[in-house]
Structure 1
């Protein structure tokens, strides 16, 4: 990580094989305007990676670049050693990458079950098995499969979106601010679900506005600033690092 400053005392021992590797990626939405500037990130098998930083730092753009939704102009992205830079999203889903956007993440006119079935359109024969899997993680949904998604609360919609992404049995899950807009109680539930997904063996990369809570649950964290990975380390070390607290967390890191 040539562009990062590991937190003092950070222990960056690998959990498993390298799954996602973002190597000095520069990307943006408009010609000549870069949101990511030589940004790097690594995620190993079984890790829960948290990405925090100020507004406009490029956090969501990084997830979209990994998922082929933002043009990468320089650098490379690899999945299990295979280069996937600028590969289309449908190809990435087939390779085992799931993505849950922050907003507009369900089909409101469809039922919960129909939303989940949409997540399995590339492998429809595995419906029963995958439904059983996701409803074990989200048992509330299993009791309400016939309910229309448009009638659900924000937290419930987030559960449907996560479940739909899980239907294809992804190896990697990209989550864009799963707690955004939720009440404190629903935020806690969202973070518990993220941990359950990760414990199920899914390498998870999460962008999160609730920096303190994110660092509490993640194995390793990245602090993005102006499109670069400014700091990286274990979640605990970043949470207690004076520079990270002063620049990015304020009093949030001192609770």
Structure 2
């Protein structure tokens, strides 16, 4: 485990897809939620971000996706700064984002939701549909069904599938297990692992800290808008400092 407050987040060799360098960001003028956050996601990695409520986890994802004002520092995608770019430009550059709530169009069918994910490149619909249904096979059998009639777990599958339609180089997931039953939570984590194994670099924010760290290649512990600790997921899961400070109140499911 690395104390990220004193040691830069570096680690394994490999092509860097997303990097945050000393990012300060917030929603209101003069009020920062992120206060010097750092993060590296390399090609093919599954990155888990945990921390107490109000630590800035969702704000970090939204900063990457252009939804929060970045006041200091830099965010790069494949080596190029993306600070200030709007969501449509980021999607075109290979960034997919799945918000925690309101993440499907309930009045549209599953097929129409997936088509919305390809509004910038509709010609590859059949090709991308084959890919997403290789991960979410049940969706392929229910394409005419309206998304509003689906359970929370099923809606989460549609939301992740829609984000994958544009063949992103990095997928940002905000609390994919939130509000789901324990069985559906397990299924959500399995699907996240499946997406990552299919070659999609994944950055996931999760309140179920233990389950998140079990599947993450590397994890970051965010606290007061800064990365307090960074290291391999299993190392963080078993580190006494992280257990004492964070895991005692986060992710109460047994490991």
Q: Give the structure-1-normalised TM-score.
A: 0.95
* SS in structure 2 of the partner of residue 61 of structure 1: helix
Q: Distance in 1 between matches of 2:3 and 2:180?
A: 36
Shift of 1:2: 8.9
Match in the other structure for 2:231: 233
Judge conservation of contact 1:111–1:147 (CA < 8 Å) in 2: yes
Q: Distance in 2 between matches of 1:135 and 1:33?
A: 43
Q: Does 1:87 align with 2:103?
A: no
1:131-176 superposed Cα distances (whole Å, 9 cap, x missing partner): 1110110001000000000000000000000000000000000000
Q: Does 1:103 align with 2:101?
A: yes
Gaps of 5+ in 1: none
Q: Distance in 1 between matches of 2:245 and 2:43?
A: 30
* SS in structure 1 of the partner of residue 102 of structure 2: coil
Shift of 1:222: 0.2
1:72-121 superposed Cα distances (whole Å, 9 cap, x missing partner): 00000000000111211100000000000000000000000000000000
Gaps of 5+ in 2: none
Judge conservation of contact 2:10–2:40 (CA < 8 Å) in 1: no
Q: Distance in 2 between matches of 1:177 and 1:207?
A: 5
Judge conservation of contact 1:20–1:79 (CA < 8 Å) in 2: yes
Q: 1:152 to 1:254 in 2, by over 3 A?
A: closer
Judge conservation of contact 2:3–2:228 (CA < 8 Å) in 1: no
Match in the other structure for 1:12: 11
Shift of 1:11: 9.7
Q: 1:253 to 1:239 in 2, by over 3 A?
A: farther
Q: 1:12 to 1:254 in 2, by over 3 A?
A: farther
Q: Distance in 1 between matches of 2:189 and 2:153?
A: 11
* SS in structure 1 of the partner of residue 59 of structure 2: helix
Q: Does 1:116 align with 2:117?
A: no
Judge conservation of contact 2:96–2:163 (CA < 8 Å) in 1: yes
